[in-house]
A = this chain, B = another copy of it.
Amino acid sequence: MSQASVHRVVIVGGGFGGLQATQNLRRADVEITLLDRRNFHLFQPLTYQVATGALSPGEIAYPLRAIFKRDRNIRVLMAEVTDVDLDARELRLSSVAGVPAPASIPYDTLIVSGGSRYSYFGHDEWAEFAEEVKSLESALTARSRILSAFEAAEMEPDPQRRESWLTFAVVGGGPTGVEMAGQIAELARDTLSRDFRSVNPRTGRILLIEATDRVLTSFPPSLSARAERSLERLGVTALLGRTVVGVDAEGVSVDDGNGSVERIPTRTVIWAAGVTASPLAAKLAERSGAELDRAGRVTVEADLTLPGHPEVFALGDMVRVRGTDGVPRVLPGVAPAAMQQGRYAAKAVRTRLRGGEAPPFHYRDKGNLATIGRAAAVADIKGLRLSGFIAWITWLVVHLWYLVGFQNRIVVFIRWMFSFATHGRGARLITEADAKRCPEP
């Protein structure tokens, strides 16, 4: 490692991995620059609640500068990383939202935690019609679309078209898909049940389309079955073993695997399937010669560093980690995995600065949680399988605990208690800026 006056660590990404890396280096004798395209940390496990009007953006996002305002050795920089020069040890930057950015920034140690996004199975043209809910912006767009669909149904005289406005298709039976389907069902059945005069939102169809034969494949089959029963009680129809083969403004086409393609008329499609790593993974692979898998993840060594570049760490759901047996593995794309890796990278840097050598990264599975709806969740914690109310309380406590910002925790807690008691959702706003998309230039 270079022995400049002060060791410069550049951390890319203010998500769970980058935030933990930064927090665990704040006391070290290093100069840190934390780079993100946004000025806030997003508590991504709750974006689906913004998409369904249960929470407001400010309640699950927290300014990065505020988190590190007392740490004089940490700079936060709002910029986009476009490339990395591993030889010169520099990142190339471009500006975001009109904020000027330097053309490049040098590092002694680089920690990249760029995350992932949903992939549209190679059909990027579907993105226009099928909104995902991973970013705050997309969650707000999804919110406007879901709420507008009910408004449109209320106004639509033609029964067939009205039905397609009241049909919601969620693609992908993972935790986000299950949560979105459950929340849309609750929105239709409880929150909005009395809001309309011409239509009854309770008659809305909520479909959850999943390619495999069960939802929540990262859970044991028994919990998948319980989740499916909870979804059914909420009024969600799970279409299992169905692959989406087409999405447009008026519906989705699904293939049942036996050569028969069904057309489902719907005006609202939420996408929560497939996953593709941040383009930074490909850049790192290209520059270092590291392996890249089909989902765009770069393979890192057992100590999370790039092959041949011990000064570059990459982590989170943009990487596969090579085990001590030499086999690359995909870790679960959940917050705890990214957080453990972020903490590990920070510790590895501190160890090296003292002249030591870090042991390989070891992932500790803390368990798996998914919520379906009101008082319904599933949890698989080291073999302990919970469902129903107990799992839901566990989910609630864990999510409140990890939510950044003491004030946000209280506000979110109050919103949840109110929603639970009244079935209400305060933040169901349709704003033009979110609903509108700019025309192609």
Residues of A in contact with B (beta carbons under 8 Å apart):
38-40, 53, 55-59, 61-63, 65-66, 69-70, 72, 75-78, 96-102, 136-137, 140-141, 144, 147-148, 151-152, 154-156, 192, 194-197, 405, 407-408, 410-411, 414-415, 418, 422, 424, 426-436, 438-439, 441
Contacts and interface: CB of A to CB of B under 8 A. Distances in A.
A141 B288 CA distance: 41
A67 to B, nearest CB: 10
A415 B407 contact: yes
A210 B438 CA distance: 36
Contacts of A431: 38, 57, 136-137, 140
**Interface-centre pick from A136, A197, A439 (highest chain B CB count, 10 A):** A197
Within the oligomer, what is the number of copies of this chain?
2
B411 A415 contact: yes
Contact of A194 (B56, B70, B100): B70
Nearest to A193: B69
B414 A426 contact: no
Contacts of A418: 407
B195 A152 contact: no
B433 A197 contact: no
Contacts of A66: 195, 424, 428
Given A69-B195, A99-B155, A405-B426, 9 more contacts: A57-B431, A63-B426, A63-B428, A72-B197, A78-B430, A96-B432, A97-B151, A97-B430, A433-B433
Contacts of A414: 407, 410-411, 414
Given A151-B39, A155-B101, A438-B438, A62 B195 contact: no
B77 A155 contact: yes
Contacts of A72: 197
21 contacts: A38-B432, A39-B151, A56-B56, A56-B57, A58-B59, A58-B429, A63-B429, A65-B192, A65-B195, A77-B155, A98-B435, A99-B148, A99-B155, A140-B431, A407-B418, A407-B424, A410-B414, A411-B411, A433-B433, A438-B439, A439-B441
A61 B57 CA distance: 13
A144 B97 contact: yes
Contacts of A405: 426
A65 B192 CA distance: 8
Nearest to A96: B432
A152 B63 contact: no
Nearest to A421: B407
